[in-house]
Structures are given as structure tokens and as C-alpha cells.
Structure 1
């Protein structure tokens, strides 16, 4: 049972929400619905909203253990992307017009989101500035950048989708020391994640969706799903909460990193956490030395999975690769204490972010890091996020975005809504849309301790490789370490 998430009050997004997070009513009786969605994050809310748009007569109920947006949806780095991890693999399954349509659906996510936010009145600090993927700190980053661009070209993406910036143009856009080049894409926008989640919840309610908060599902304590008489598509299932239940024809698990707590996914997802921090508001003079004049999101070309944005209140928000707890333990509280850029390491998980920020922006030494937080996300095996509908069982699953779900959740939520309510729709025929049992379509992660060993070893090796690559001169054994890192990266994917 998921009863509390915790740690949201550590985040910048919570403290700059601009409104109180007032709780909705919890479920306190036994009700019926056509579709019951578990989880009021982006995936659950988009699925609910699109179901009502595509078939207004449906009764759609959302059960949330805490409050809408309190999980990863309200804690992330705020990149709304027209791409997702695994998109090139899905496109490779298609040819000709089918590939063109799928690509257009993916890259059109940002424009679709902008129009939808305008139509629904969702105010979430949306700014469409694109993304910079920069090569700067060591020579090998340029090779990584060039390899990435080659993959995009092979998949059919052109200069309008991804273009290589010269060292001068890249430095003008984002002034990282030693910049060699950058890969720029317009297919990304910055958002305030928690404002988006809360606004989306209100939009879903206006469409007729009913959201119950503080209503944790007790599948672990009760029988999984209790079959009843036939309903919308198939048999009805019963979902239990502490004070009530929902009988529904279709139950949707939109839980991302929290699925394992309910025993739902049979190792098809790996719950990992990512950690980020934010500086105090920076002056215009400081921003003039950094760049990001058009408020682009940014990352550097390394295995540490860095990500950053310039927030609406002019803070530098920055995150990097997190961790994995043995057995898929969920971690959402990280005990951050304020610190200053350039101070000695404290031996906690925020040291890596502080050190990378100092390396990226040495002129910011002495700047206060005022907030630090994290959240739990989900890695699908082989990095293939999915929208799956098992009509025979009346069960559906959506997610596995690997930390790239702010935009993808909109696309996948609409895909799942079509699978359920309008199976003849274009999205229902996309390669990320699955019909049938989980066991037929989704690969499983290996049993413990292999995931823990693999994730822990890769984290240690990647950080060691980074230290070697940043040395001048680089040690002679650096290429050997990089080849080991390459092999482990392939193994984990």
C-alpha cells in the first residue's frame, strides 16, 4: 500500500507553487465506474482527461494515495520534451509514411501541449526555448555528441529537429568552460512541474473526472482484483482503499516508480530516484555570463545524466543521475541542507550536483544552493515506455519513461485513452501501444541482486570515468575504463 510520499516540501516547486495544496476528499464508500485510474500524476491525469474527451459518457475515477502531483510529476526537472527514451527504437520498427506520422506525433508534443495549456487555462510557467546538449568538459564529449546526431539522422530527423552548433554559437547560448559544440533541438520547453500537475488535475475535474486523494489502494492487503459481472469492455474489477472501493470495467495503473509497492508490474519497471537542486535567484549580470537568454533547457554530453533549466524566478535548477535501492525501495526524502557553491563536500547525495554546477559555472562560486530534493521514476526494460491495455483482464498500464515523462505522459496518456475508448484511432496503432497481457509484450528486469549490482556498479564506474576524463592529461588507462563503461551501459539497456 502507498500511504504517503513525503519530501515534497523540500522542493523549490512546492515553495513556489503560489497556492495552497488543499486536499481533495478521500474515498469513503463503495462506488462504481467505467475506468478507475491508480495515480494522480501526469500519466493518470492525462489518461483520465483524454478518456473524457474521446468518450464523454464514461465515468472515470482517479485514486491518489497522497495528493495530485505529489509524486515524480511534481518534483522533476521541468523538461517537456518532444522526444522520449526509446523513441528511436520504436521509429526503427516503421517505414515510410508510418514512420513520418509517428515522428510527427512525437516531435509535435511541445506544440500540442502549448495549445492544450492555453485551451484548458493551465498556467505552468511554460516557455518554449528548446534544448542544448553541450560538449564542453573533455574532448570525448564531442564524439558522444556526434554519435548522437548520427543516430538522429539515421532515424529521419533533419536540421529542423536537431542541429549541431559551432563552439562559438554554443558558447553564446550556454557559456560552459571549454565548449566544443552543442546539439540544439527546438523540441523542448521549460515548465514548473507542480503547477502543471495541479492545473491538469483541475482541468480533468472540469471535464467530469472524479479525483479522490489520500485514498491509497490496498491491493497488497486484499485480493488483487475481484472479478464481477461484465461491464464496459470485460468483467468488472474491484479496487479497495481503507474506507471504500471502486468496481470498474477497466483499472489503469499509472504509478510509474510506485508500481512495485502494489506488486503490479512483475519487474517490468525499475524504480530509481533522481536528485536535483536549485540556487538562489540570480541577477541579470550573472545570467549574462551564463547564457540561456531564451531560457533553453540544457544538459552536457556525459553519462551522469545532467539536466537543468532557468526557472521563471531566475534560479538555476540542476539535477543529475540518482540511484536505486535494493529491491526497488522507493526513496523520496533526501535531507537537504542549504550550502554554498565552492564549499567543501559534505558527503551526501547533493555533493555531485554542487561539484558539477561549480565545474559548469565557476563564476557562480559563493552562490547559495537553497533547495534540494528528489523523486522516484521508472525505467522500463530496454528503455521502452509503453501504453498497454489487456482487455481480457480489464487492466491497463502506462509509463516507464526513464525520467522523460513530462511530455511523453501526454502522448502515452492519449494513446492509452484511444486503446480503451477509441481503438480505431491513429495513436492506438503506434508501436508504443500494446494490446494484450503484460507478459506478452513487456520485458522484465532480472531478479535481485542483479539490478542493484548493475545500477550501483554503473554509477560508480561512470563517476570514476568522469574524473579520469576531466584530468589533464588523461591517464593512459582511461580508454579501458571508457570501454568498460560502454559495455555496462549496453548491458543495462
Structure 2
């Protein structure tokens, strides 16, 4: 085992410690590397990528069939990617167009999928409790706040939309400004929505705890091992070949690094900042005493949580995409993004304006061309995959991992009949069209947000509606 990795937080022009994978690892210490693949190996199941999707699949496979030989391959360390960098929303939100899911399985199929997502929130909490994983989990729900008239209109549309797909009055609760302020005071807020189906999580603690749990079950995780190609029956790496009748690709935003997958799932960039612990005087003004996670109604939306030690961790898209599907270096993000997120933080919480930013970081999430997640296994080739969570993946990984396990074991279950199983989507456009399209889309969204932040506009900007059509969302 290698020594604990050194701190990787260089300072850019913003003056904020930047990178180091994520603050979640800074607060817990980066893990020691596990040993790399020691040469060619045989297995029953080979899982490429030791993030949450692969770890959950391994966990449920081993619980169902303990004698399976499962090998996991990871270029860095388990949880190095989005699994250890995300905003810590264990939510029931499902990315993508429900109408697209319904094309194959009808309205009821989507209702079933959404119900399964709500159940997955409690499943993760139950497994964490059973395995002794202390991940600062608190199920206090999710708040979405509207800060202009157009966002208020969209919140009402959201309530109606959720109920169309099976949500009850308890699943999506409209909040008056007074009710919202009783939970958290956001400057400029006008209204809100509350959903109980969400918990705050410390992502690095969750993924590291799950990795330890699957090892206790007998799964072997090889790190410092780069998978160069995935073929029927094998995964080729820089350290040897793993042969297995089932090979599962669980790489999410890093999928483009595999040969032949450059135009599959686009690696969308998302960045975060976290403050120092807030003084009592600031907390008294903000009033965020619970563990609700927080989002807004903007098109270029933000996401936030109050950490267990009273920091605000806030994220957003920043500069959304690097040319050629490139990814970040150890979580380091751009100064422009740090400054933009800091400005947003201070705009929403003026009382925190004098609290230093402790760290900034970023990561990539997987975005399919139609923005809908997929779980798939072809038993003829033995090749399977899950991902395309579009930023709503923390809970989705659990549901996807359980579904993959059922598919591998050839079980006909409620999970394997969900409408995201076996989906096929067209590839992204080649460069430079891919880069131009993504950046144009977010430029339009930001312009739509700017226009909606004027008193005269009470409805969603036509610019945003146009961007949605171009993006295929």
C-alpha cells in the first residue's frame, strides 16, 4: 500500500485552496492506495470503476451469491470521481425526460421508477446503518427556493408535474415565504417547495465506507490500474487482463476515456466551494438549523448543504465542459468558476460574506445525449453498464447497482422491468460541435436567468425554452 497521498490543494488567482479531489477528502484525509492488479486474472464478474455504481453492484451481487469471484478495477482510488466529490444530496430526483422513459413502459412504468427512487433513499440509509458507515446522514428533506417571479411560476409547474407522475401531497409540499424562512433564510426568496425524500450525506465517508463493506464481503478492488479497453469477456489494463463472462462498465463521467466511448456519455463539469465554519452570529441570521439540502429554480442551477460542522457547501456548473471530453486534474477548477460560485453564495446569504472560502473543487458527471439514465446488460456479449445520471446520481447509483445485480443473476424482478433498463441513445456530436453546443446551451441558460431576474418578467424566458429544445431536454 502506498503512503497517504499528499495534500493537492494549489492556490490559483482566486486565493482559494483549489482541487485536492474534494473538500470531503480534505476533511477525512485522502485514502491509501490499494494494490494494483498484479497481472492477468480470471473472475466471474469484472467491474470497471470503483465508484458508487460499481460498489453497489458488487455489494448486492455478493450478498445474493457469496461465492462469486468479483474483481473491481480502478485507475485512482475507490470513490475518486463524482462519488467522492458531489453535493451530498441523497435525493429521489431522477434526471431526464419522463416522457422518454414512458415511450417504452408507459406512464405506470415511470411512476414505478420514481417510487423506486424514493425507496432507494431509505435503502442507502439502511445499508449505511447495517454496515456501520458513519456518513453524517440526516434525512431532513430537500428545499427548492424561487427567487424571482418566473421561478415561482416554475415551482408551481413542478408541483403539478410531479403529481402527474404519482407524487402525493406529502411528496412535494409548497411553502410560503414564512414557511421557507422558518427553515432557512435565503435573500430574495419568494417561495419554496419541500420534499421529504432526501438526506444530507458526506460523500467521501459514504463511498469509503461502502468500499470497505464490499471488501469485507470478499470483493477484490485493484487500484492504480488503468483500463484501456473493454471487450466481450475481458477488460484490458496497463497491468494485465481480467477475463470474466460478465464485465460491467461503471465509469459515469469518465466513460469517454475508454476506447470507442468518446461520444457516449459527455463528461459535464460541476464545481463546488465550501466555507469555513459559520460563526454563531451568521447562523442566527441564516437560521439553517436543520440538515435540509437546498436548490434553486434557476436554469443554471445551484445545489447546497449545511455540513455537520456548520459550513455551507455550494455547487453549480461553472464552465460546464472541456474540449474533447477532457476531465479535471485532481479536482482543480477554474478561478472564474470559484468567483462565480462565491458571488452566488454571498448573494443568497449576505451574512456569510465575510466568512472565508475554505476550498474549491470540481468533478465530472455523465450526460447522455437525451439526458436520461441507463442500466443495461447484454447477456450475449456479457457487457453491461449503468450511468448517465446527469448530476442526480447519489441515490440513483444504489438503484442502478441493485438493478445490475439482478440482471447479472438473470432475475426477473420489478427492478429489471423498470423503463431505464436496456435503453439505447444516440451518440453526442463530434468536436467541435459538442463543445460549441454545450457552451452555447449554458450561455443561453445564464442569459435567461439574467432576464428573469428583472421585475418585469413573470414567466420562463423564451431563451431558456429554446435552449431546452436545442439540448434535447
How high is the TM-score relative to the length of structure 1? Answer: 0.87
Match of 1:455 among 438, 448, 454: 438
Q: Find the residue that maps to 1:203 and give its secondary structure.
A: helix
Q: Once the 2 structures are TM-superposed, how far is the Cα of residue 288 of structure 1 from its aligned partner?
A: 2.5
Q: Find the residue that maps to 2:20 and give its secondary structure.
A: helix
Q: Which residue of 1 aligns with 2:13?
A: none
Q: Find the residue that maps to 1:467 and give its secondary structure.
A: helix
Q: Which residue of 1 aligns with 2:132?
A: 121
Q: Find the residue that maps to 1:215 and give its secondary structure.
A: coil
Task: State the alpha-carbon separation in 2 of the partners of residues 257 and 11 from structure 1.
Answer: 16
Q: Is the 8 A contact 2:278 2:352 kept in 1?
A: no
**Paired residue total:** 455
Q: Which residue of 2 aligns with 1:32?
A: 42
Q: Is the 8 A contact 2:92 2:114 kept in 1?
A: no
Q: Find the residue that maps to 2:44 and give its secondary structure.
A: strand
Task: State the alpha-carbon separation in 1 of the partners of residues 109 and 153 from structure 2.
Answer: 31
Residues 97 and 71 from structure 1, CA distance in 2 versus in 1: closer, same or farther, beyond 3 angstroms?
closer
Q: Which residue of 1 aligns with 2:202?
A: 192
Q: Once the 2 structures are TM-superposed, how far is the Cα of residue 101 of structure 1 from its aligned partner?
A: 4.1
Q: Is the 8 A contact 2:46 2:248 kept in 1?
A: yes
Q: Once the 2 structures are TM-superposed, how far is the Cα of residue 241 of structure 1 from its aligned partner?
A: 2.2
Q: Once the 2 structures are TM-superposed, how far is the Cα of residue 76 of structure 1 from its aligned partner?
A: 0.8
Q: Once the 2 structures are TM-superposed, how far is the Cα of residue 266 of structure 1 from its aligned partner?
A: 5.8
Match of 1:324 among 321, 326, 342: 321
Stretch deviating more after TM superposition (323-332 or 108-117)? 323-332
Q: Find the residue that maps to 1:375 and give its secondary structure.
A: strand
Task: State the alpha-carbon separation in 1 of the partners of residues 50 and 299 from structure 2.
Answer: 31
Task: State the alpha-carbon separation in 1 of the partners of residues 91 and 453 from structure 2.
Answer: 29
Residues 139 and 97 from structure 1, CA distance in 2 versus in 1: closer, same or farther, beyond 3 angstroms?
closer
Q: Is the 8 A contact 2:20 2:332 kept in 1?
A: no
Q: Which residue of 1 aligns with 2:451?
A: 468
Describe the superposition over 1:259-312 as per-residue Cα deviations: whole angstroms up to 9, x where unpaired.
Answer: 111124362311111001000001233223213322100011001120000011
Q: Once the 2 structures are TM-superposed, how far is the Cα of residue 170 of structure 1 from its aligned partner?
A: 1.2
Q: Find the residue that maps to 1:427 and give its secondary structure.
A: coil
How high is the TM-score relative to the length of structure 2? Answer: 0.91
Match of 1:253 among 223, 228, 249: 249
Q: Once the 2 structures are TM-superposed, how far is the Cα of residue 444 of structure 1 from its aligned partner?
A: 2.1
Q: Find the residue that maps to 2:225 and give its secondary structure.
A: coil
Q: Once the 2 structures are TM-superposed, how far is the Cα of residue 163 of structure 1 from its aligned partner?
A: 1.1
Q: Which residue of 1 aligns with 2:185?
A: 175
Describe the superposition over 1:27-56 as per-residue Cα deviations: whole angstroms up to 9, x where unpaired.
Answer: 112110011000000011111111112222
Residues 266 and 326 from structure 1, CA distance in 2 versus in 1: closer, same or farther, beyond 3 angstroms?
closer
Q: Find the residue that maps to 1:26 and give its secondary structure.
A: coil
Q: Find the residue that maps to 1:271 and give its secondary structure.
A: strand
Q: Which residue of 2 aligns with 1:212?
A: 222
Q: Which residue of 1 aligns with 2:462?
A: 483
Q: Once the 2 structures are TM-superposed, how far is the Cα of residue 468 of structure 1 from its aligned partner?
A: 3.0
> Are 1:362 and 2:350 matched, yes or no?
yes
Residues 87 and 462 from structure 1, CA distance in 2 versus in 1: closer, same or farther, beyond 3 angstroms?
closer
Q: Is the 8 A contact 1:38 1:44 kept in 2?
A: yes
Q: Is the 8 A contact 2:256 2:264 kept in 1?
A: no
Unmatched tracts of structure 2, length 5 or more: 10-18
Task: State the alpha-carbon separation in 2 of the partners of residues 361 and 284 from structure 1.
Answer: 14
Residues 367 and 401 from structure 1, CA distance in 2 versus in 1: closer, same or farther, beyond 3 angstroms?
same
Q: Is the 8 A contact 1:40 1:68 kept in 2?
A: yes
Q: Once the 2 structures are TM-superposed, how far is the Cα of residue 472 of structure 1 from its aligned partner?
A: 5.4
Q: Once the 2 structures are TM-superposed, how far is the Cα of residue 85 of structure 1 from its aligned partner?
A: 0.6
Task: State the alpha-carbon separation in 2 of the partners of residues 488 and 403 from structure 1.
Answer: 18
Q: Which residue of 2 aligns with 1:340?
A: none
Task: State the alpha-carbon separation in 2 of the partners of residues 116 and 418 from structure 1.
Answer: 18
Q: Once the 2 structures are TM-superposed, how far is the Cα of residue 489 of structure 1 from its aligned partner?
A: 1.6
